[in-house]
A and B are shown apart, each in its own frame.
Chain A
Amino acid sequence: MKLLTHNMLTSKCLKGVNVGYPLGIVAKDIKVLETEFNSEFVLRIIPKLDWDTLWNAADSIGHSGDLPRTLCDDYENDVEFLKKAHHVLLEVEVINGELVCPESGRKFAINKGIPNMLLNEDEL
């Protein structure tokens, strides 16, 4: 699971959970894999992000590096910054671990990089 995906995921599926965001991350294995930098994609993704969540998530798994804590105004022209964002969004991957619902504490397993958000029938 990439941190980009984590930025969009919730546990709203759970009965009684209203926001379910942001999910906590318990990372057992992390893989860092180089991927092609596409500034256009990163530029389009940033406005969709919750930056705080991204930074905190990266920090909680020890990969915030020198990613700025807040988004500055003229990031569009800052290629170095875009590359850092690219790295955190797309190159840091949680392979095994858990996602944790912030309201109920319910844990969702991540196996081989794939989060399992399925509920049991009594949790609906």
Chain B
Amino acid sequence: MTSQKWRKYLLWFANEHVEFRLPEIKSIASLFNINIRWIEKPNQHPYWVVELPSEKAARQIASRSVGLRSCMELWAQGKTEEELHKNVRSYPMELMKPYFKPELSFKIHVETFCNRQSQAEKVSKIESFSYLPLEGSVKLKNPDVCLQLLEYYGLDSNHIPEKPYKLFFGRWIADGQRDVITMLSLKTRKFIGNTSMDPQLSLYMANQALVQPGDLVLDPFVGTGSLLVAASHFGGYVLGSDIDFLMLHGKTRPTRIQPKKERDKDESICSNMLQYGKGSQYLDVIVADASLPLWRPSFKLDCIITDPPYGIREATERIGTTKNYQISNHHLEGHIPSKVEYGLHQIYQDLFQFAAQHLKMGGRLVCWIPVVRRDYSEDRLPMHPCFQLVANCEQVLTKFTSRRLLTLEKLHEPQEKYTGSDVNSLMGDFRAKFFQYGEEQRKKRKLRKMLATQAYRQREEKEANCRAQLEDRDSSSSER
């Protein structure tokens, strides 16, 4: 019976991008068709206890998750050490025994969340499990069986309690993909710019998009191609387009902290792909304006992942003019087309329409959208009748702005050109508000600074007066 294979697992997460956890795990589960039974409702804690149908399912989740630190088959938990050990002892021996065989090497690993421990402390903790009838030899590197003790000391590193809030013990199954974040670090990447998305968020996007080996993935605002790097990591074949000729040719000004005078000759999206051994999955990038048709109407993509221009770090432009004229032939060569403002609302409308046409059924569009936090509500997000909103995660940028990662799944083929509802003005004025609020903040800061300076001056004056009085008194007393 397969139902007997269901076991409890502990998913242990990094304490970062908390909002992205659940959507990511759900996406991965749908990718591998895994049914997850939630023992507790997923919450803010960095650990979840779930039931999975097989160890394979646990491995599959770990093979894709960026938020996951590790996953273990959960044998016992407790609020105190005593309770934990009591529960380990009462875990069915027949479920543990297969891992205690003499031919299997093992180790016990102690991991703490939000606390550091000395080696001696760890050793004494390991020894506290000496009642387990482990028969194999100890092997610290790549043992056949790794048992794990996890201690959770809360989320507040400023107030670490004496004893952990919670302890877990079980058999380690696999680590998540945290290592990949380091492997794809922007610090060591050949070609980056000030729009490059950090690898962690890029990998989240690729997971949200359900990128699978052999998928065709497009980023129509590709910039330095950071999202394509993540998509190719999961086996995607990647295509990109961008309006910025210099960017795609690696000729924009370098943006590293200690900039070299010039970029290397071979800086490009393609060289990034080669750097990570994904050269074979690089298809092409094209200089093109996303507001205009480029592809054959029947061309279908598996995923679209993108970070459209918000007009804060980069211009939101498209080719166009408000004037009516023709460029004479002798001016044509080397003519740099003039550009007009490409409004945010229009960008998203075009993007959704594009995705509705070019995504396969069930394919996903994953994109960021900037919002003014105090104006935001979900019903004001731009929408399209062909899509269902699968996930919507906030990343706070400043006190008053954030960006949200939207995951949209295509449910219908487009019937006719959709002109969008103009109900939502959420997008229309983002840029204006961003700068307006920025201005307000600056004014506030200036005012605060002024007041602070005033207060400081007053205090100084007061102190000076005080000192003068004291000196007066001193001198008068000495006169006496």
Contacts and interface: CB of A to CB of B under 8 A. Distances in A.
B214 A48 contact: no
Interface string B237-250: 10101010100110
Contacts of A115: 284, 286-287
A117 B326 contact: no
B300 interface: yes
Contact of A117 (B287, B300, B327, B335): B287
Contacts of A10: 293-296
Residue from B241, B284, B285 having most chain A Cβ neighbours under 10 A: B284
B382 interface: no
B283 A4 contact: yes
Given A41-B237, A120-B335, A2 B292 contact: no
Contacts of B339: 121
Nearest to B328: A122
B394 interface: no
B321 interface: yes
Nearest to B266: A112
A69 interface: no
Contact of B321 (A13, A117, A118, A122): A122
B300 A48 contact: yes
B438 interface: no
B325 A122 contact: yes
Given A38-B214, A38-B280, A116-B245, A9 B332 contact: no
B283 A2 contact: yes
B133 interface: no
Contacts of A48: 216, 298-300
B213 interface: yes
Interface string B306-344: 000000000000011100011100001001011100000
Contact of A35 (B241, B279, B332): B279
A8 B248 contact: no
Nearest to B236: A41
Contacts of A114: 248-249, 284-287
Tier of interface size on chain B: 35 or more
A1 interface: yes
Nearest to A37: B280
Interface residues of A, number: 34
A90 B295 CA distance: 18
Nearest to A112: B249
Given A35-B279, A38-B214, A48-B299, A124 B287 contact: no
Given A8-B296, A12-B293, A13-B289, A119 B319 contact: yes
A21 interface: yes
A114 B270 CA distance: 11
Contacts of A40: 213-214
B288 interface: yes
Interface string A1-24: 110110111101100000001000
Contacts of B295: 8-10
Contact of B288 (A1, A21, A50, A118): A118
Contacts of B335: 120
Contacts of A41: 214, 237
B62 to A, nearest CB: 23
A2 B281 CA distance: 12
Contacts of A104: none
Contact of A2 (B284, B294, B338): B284
B417 to A, nearest CB: 14
B338 A121 contact: yes
Interface string A90-114: 1000000000000000000001111
A71 interface: no
B325 to A, nearest CB: 6
A94 B431 CA distance: 40
Given A1-B284, A8-B299, A44 B214 contact: yes
Given A5-B283, A40-B214, A48-B299, A117 B294 contact: yes
B455 to A, nearest CB: 55
Contacts of A90: 280, 283
A36 interface: yes
Residue from A2, A9, A121 having most chain B Cβ neighbours under 10 A: A121
B474 to A, nearest CB: 80
Contacts of A111: 249
Interface of B: 213-214, 216, 237, 239, 241, 243, 245, 248-249, 270, 279-280, 283-289, 292-296, 298-300, 319-321, 325-327, 332, 335, 337-339
The 5 closest A-B pairs by CB, nearest first: A36-B280, A13-B292, A121-B321, A35-B280, A5-B284
Interface of A: 1-2, 4-5, 7-10, 12-13, 21, 35-36, 38, 40-41, 44-45, 48, 50, 90, 111-122, 124
16 contacts: A5-B286, A8-B295, A8-B296, A9-B295, A10-B293, A35-B280, A40-B213, A117-B241, A118-B243, A118-B287, A118-B288, A118-B319, A120-B332, A121-B339, A122-B321, A122-B325
Given A115-B284, A118-B245, 11 more contacts: A2-B283, A4-B283, A4-B284, A13-B293, A48-B216, A48-B298, A114-B285, A117-B287, A117-B289, A120-B327, A121-B338
